[in-house]
Each structure stands twice: as C-alpha cells, then as structure tokens.
Structure 1
Amino acid sequence: MTAHTPAPPPAPACPAASIVEPPVRFRDLIASEWIKTRSLRSTWWALALTLAFVIGSAAAVALAEVGNLEGSGPNPTGNRDFLPFVAFPPAGYWPLMVVATALGALTVVSEYASGLIRTTTVAVPARGAVVAAKAVVTAALWSAVGAVVSTGSFLVSQAVLDGRHAGVPFAHPGVARALVASALLAPVCSLVGLGIGALVRHGVATMVVGVFTLVMLPPVFSQSEPWSAAVNHAMPSSAWQRLVQSWEPDPSSLGHSATVAGSWIVYVLWPLIAVVLAVVVVRRRAV
C-alpha cells in the first residue's frame, strides 16, 4: 500500500507592496499652472496687444497735450506739473482692466469648459490648493505686465512732453504712487476675474459680470451723496483714479472725495475677497 505524503501547506501570500505617491507640493502646483498659462499662444498675443495699446494710448494723449501747449511758451523746469491722466490715460487703462479680468477668469473657466477640472481634482484632491496656485501664478504674471505697462506709459508720455519742457522725472511728487497704483491695477482685476470665473464658471457670463462690475458700474454712482460716493469709492477703478490723481480734492467741493488710505484698502480687499470666495466655492461645489 502506497503511503501518501501530505502536501506542504501553501506559502502565505505576500501582500502586494502598496505604492504610496508623495504628496503634491504647492510649488509643483504653481509649476503646473505656469505651464498651462505659458503654453497658450493666445495669452501672449493678448498680453502683447494690450501692452502696445496702453503704451500707445499714453503716447497719443501726450501728443495731443503737446498740441494744446503749442500756443504757450516753454515751461520752466521749476514749474513743471505732473499730468497723471496723460501718463496713465483712462482710455488705455479701461481696456487693460477688461483684458486682465477676462484672462484671470479663463484660468478657471477654461478648465470647466474643457472638462480638465475633473482630471485636476482627481490628481490633486486639495482643490483649495489648486485655486491658490492659480491665484499666485495669475498675480505674478499680471504684476509683471502691470509694471511694464505702467513704466512704459510714463516713460513714453514724458518723452513726448519733454518736447515742450513739460515732462517730469520719476522723483517728481505724486509719480511714485501713480506708478505703483497703475502697475497693481492689472493684478487686482485679474484676481477679481479669477474669483468671478470660479463663481460663474461660464465664459460669456463671466465676461459680462466682470465688465459690468469693474467698468460700467462705478460711473452709475455719483459723489454728490454720501451713500453713492461710498459705493463709487469702493470700486477698483475709482480707487485707481484717486491714487493716480496728484492733486488733493478741494475741501469746499460739494462732492465726497475718496481718501488715499481708503483707496489702498480697496486695492487689497477686492482680490483678497475674490480669491477666498473662489477657494470656498471650488472646495464645496461638486465638479
């Protein structure tokens, strides 16, 4: 009779080694958002055209001002006045606000329109960090654009005005504040656009809301009544005009003028509130 050798017990199955991916670092998110931004040719075309238009507007307004000065004699060096809305003409800066708002909104809206937001949220569940990275890249890009536009507008306009001895240097009173305020207008509007884009998530509707809020709404509120003036002064475009303005308002005027400190606060609060709202909405809303 053949003896049966008992089969050896099966070896315990070795659990598959779980692959743990390292957490995504915030600087990686910033690098990813920068790649998304710089890979779009339309972004660079829009920036180049905006730069050319705003600086060209400053040159055109300065040339018109030179024409107005033709009948007067040369302006003595000691009596030069800084002409802020020649160096930083509203006709050039209103379109800058629109473009900055639109491109800031597209950083969010484009992902929702293409469906890429689903891939992004799967790869990075921390949606708030994604929005914060978008805000950092947007603010950095438009701060650079704003600095170039502001400096270029000032240099070109003063070069033209020097033909009538009406140009002023950087050290002239009021120039530094106007330069900084004009440079920061672009990142302020771009971050506001990002916040509106996160709230609305539709390209056309975001553009309408952004243009209406930042450009069309402020002139509706006059400065003759306190409540109306308060609403007007709370708008970024009105804050920019007050900061660029080199002269102090007449105390005897019937209008209610904004303060410099209040205008800087407006510059801080609008982008801050917009980014915070964007983070909260994106974190709580289903994709």
Structure 2
Amino acid sequence: MTATTATTTGMSSGERPACEPHARFRDLVAAEWLNHGLLRSTWIAYGATALAVIGFNAGTAYDTYSHSILRESKDRAAFVRDGIPLEEAFTVNAALLMAVALGAIGALVIVGEYSTGTIRTTFAAVPARRSVMAAKAVVVTVVTTVFGMVVAGISFAVTQAILDRRDAGVSIGDPGAFRVVMASALLAPVCTLAGLALGAVIRHTASTMITSVMVILVLPLFLTDGRHWSAVAGHTLPFRAWLRLVDVNYSPIAFPWSTGGAWTVYAVWACAACAVAVTSVHLRDQ
C-alpha cells in the first residue's frame, strides 16, 4: 500500500516516466511531409521540371502538327499505325530530363540534411534511424508518384490534342496508350528513390550528383544492344526499362525482353533503393 501511494504521489507531482514512448511511424511520416513541403526550393524544382517536360513533349507534337506529312489522310493513317503519336506523348528527351532532375531531388532530400548537419538533430530526437529513413522514402514515393501521374497525364492530353487537329491523335483507350502513361509516370518515383539511396550512401552533394547522372543518364546510353552482356546489363536499368515499356510496336531484336521484365526492373529498383536508404544509416557514424 505504501509503495503504491509513493508511486502515485511521484507521478502526480510531475515526474516523467523513465522511458519516453517511441515515435510512431505515422508521426515520422507527418514530420517528413512537413519538412519536404516547407522547402520552397524543392517545389520550385518540381515546377520547373514539370514545365520543361511538358514543354518538350508539346513542342515535339507541335512540330509534327505543323509538318506537311500529316496533310494527306494516308500519311495520317500510317502515322497512327506506326505508333508515333504515343512516342510523342512522352518523348525520350523529356524522360531523360525528368529522370535526371528527380534523381537529383531525391538525393538532395537526404544530402541537404547531411551538408547542413540537421540530420544529427533529427537522429538525436529520433534514435530509430531506419524509421526516419523509411519515412523519407514513403514521402518522396508518394509525392513523386503524384508528380509523375500529373506530368504524364498532362503531357498525353496536350500532345494528343495538338495532333488531333490533324486527326492524328489517339485516346487513352487505344492499345498501348495507358501503358505509356503509366510507365512514364512511374519512372519518376523510381529515379527519385535511386537518388535518395545514392545520397544516403555517399552523403556528399557533388559526388552524389555525379553518380546519379552516371547511373540514370550515362549508363543507359553506354550499354547498347549490340552484345549480349551489354544488352542484359542495359535491361537492368530503369531508363532502358522505360524505353521497352513505351515501345508499343516492339519488334524482336537480337536480345529481346518482355514488358513483364521491364516492370520487374522498376519494382526491383524501387525496393532495392528503399532497402539501401534505410539500412545505410547504420553503416557508419554521422
């Protein structure tokens, strides 16, 4: 009875319990969401990337619209049959720009905190480092998936509206159209997570940016389908997977691969990037 009274008295007098409650994961996600949203530079980067990507695609469609090749009905039929409207719905240049830009944004999510030292404060407040990194991964995945959907959807709508003025546009229900939009949209979170993983491992701004450009841009251009080893290695990269997914009139080549394999590359890169980002925080001290 005495012990119970003493305990009750101690708690009522304002004493804190010996162990603080662990932060809930949803609270960490909410905190990372606020942290991500408060950075004006991040939203400027998203906005500039979106405008550039949509502008690239719309500009290509307008060049085609103004070209004389679409003035004859037989030429328009061949144009649609060859799948060119879907090629212009999301062009290669636009995809490369988006991939590199979002890879950089993903890297800066974590590298920025390491460079300013705020990551130490974060880990001091929440010792569960893996949970913090997992929350970052969740936030950037959600934000960039929405970003990709919006950009890919607007690009498709704008380009096909321009081409439709020559009766050369297609609808989202046409064969391969939905796959092109989804593949282009999901390229965004895959590249962002890859940048986040590289930033978590390298932790230096310049080195991370160079490595990100090498992985996302240079390697896909370097690895060609001319040799078996090069083709197989190239097929493991997200950008090459995107190229396969948006090729609606795919013709077998020396080393062919399926759309299922390309979707698998997307999934493996996203999962592996999350795993690397989450586990790397315990590889060395801050």
TM-score by length of 2: 0.90
Q: Which residue is 2:163 aligned to? A: 161
In structure 2, what is the Cα distance between the partners aligned to 1:29 and 1:213?
30
Q: Which residue is 1:8 aligned to? A: none
After superposition, residues 89-128 of structure 1 pair within 5 angstroms as: 89-128=91-130
Q: Which residue is 2:16 aligned to? A: 18
Change (3 A) 1:76 1:283: same
CA contact (8 A) 2:237 2:265 kept: yes
Q: Which residue is 2:267 aligned to? A: 268
Structure with bigger helix share is: 2
CA contact (8 A) 1:76 1:165 kept: no
> Which amino acid counterpart does residue 232 of structure 2 have in structure 1?
A
In structure 1, what is the Cα distance between the partners aligned to 2:244 and 2:69?
29
> Which amino acid counterpart does residue 115 of structure 2 have in structure 1?
A
1:174 aligns with 2:176: yes
In structure 2, what is the Cα distance between the partners aligned to 1:69 and 1:151?
27
Q: Which residue is 2:212 aligned to? A: 210
CA contact (8 A) 1:104 1:190 kept: yes
Q: Which residue is 2:65 aligned to? A: 66
User: Which segments of 5 or more consecutive residues in structure 1 lack a partner in the other structure?
Assistant: 1-11
SS of 1:137 mapped into structure 2 = helix
SS of 1:164 mapped into structure 2 = coil
In structure 1, what is the Cα distance between the partners aligned to 2:279 and 2:39?
27
User: Which segments of 5 or more consecutive residues in structure 2 lack a partner in the other structure?
Assistant: 1-5
Q: Which residue is 1:282 aligned to? A: 281
> Which amino acid counterpart does residue 255 of structure 2 have in structure 1?
H
How many correspondences in the alignment?
Answer: 273
Q: Which residue is 1:242 aligned to? A: 244
- Aligned-pair identity in percent equals 40
> Per-residue displacement from partner, 1:177-234 (whole Å, max 9, x unpaired)?
1111000000000000000000100111101000011101111111121111001111
CA contact (8 A) 2:140 2:192 kept: yes
**Per-residue deviation, 1:77:** 8.9
**Per-residue deviation, 1:67:** 3.2
Computed over aligned residues only, the root mean square deviation of the Cα atoms, in angstroms, reads 2.0
**Per-residue deviation, 1:74:** 3.0
**Per-residue deviation, 1:78:** 7.5
> Which amino acid counterpart does residue 184 of structure 2 have in structure 1?
S
In structure 2, what is the Cα distance between the partners aligned to 1:105 and 1:222?
27
In structure 1, what is the Cα distance between the partners aligned to 2:93 and 2:62?
14
In structure 1, what is the Cα distance between the partners aligned to 2:196 and 2:87?
28
Q: Which residue is 1:35 aligned to? A: 34
CA contact (8 A) 2:220 2:240 kept: yes
SS of 1:65 mapped into structure 2 = helix
In structure 2, what is the Cα distance between the partners aligned to 1:162 and 1:15?
77
Among candidates 186, 194, 197, match of residue 196 of structure 2: 194
In structure 1, what is the Cα distance between the partners aligned to 2:74 and 2:151?
27
TM-score by length of 1: 0.90
SS of 2:159 mapped into structure 1 = helix
CA contact (8 A) 2:193 2:273 kept: yes
1:51 aligns with 2:50: yes
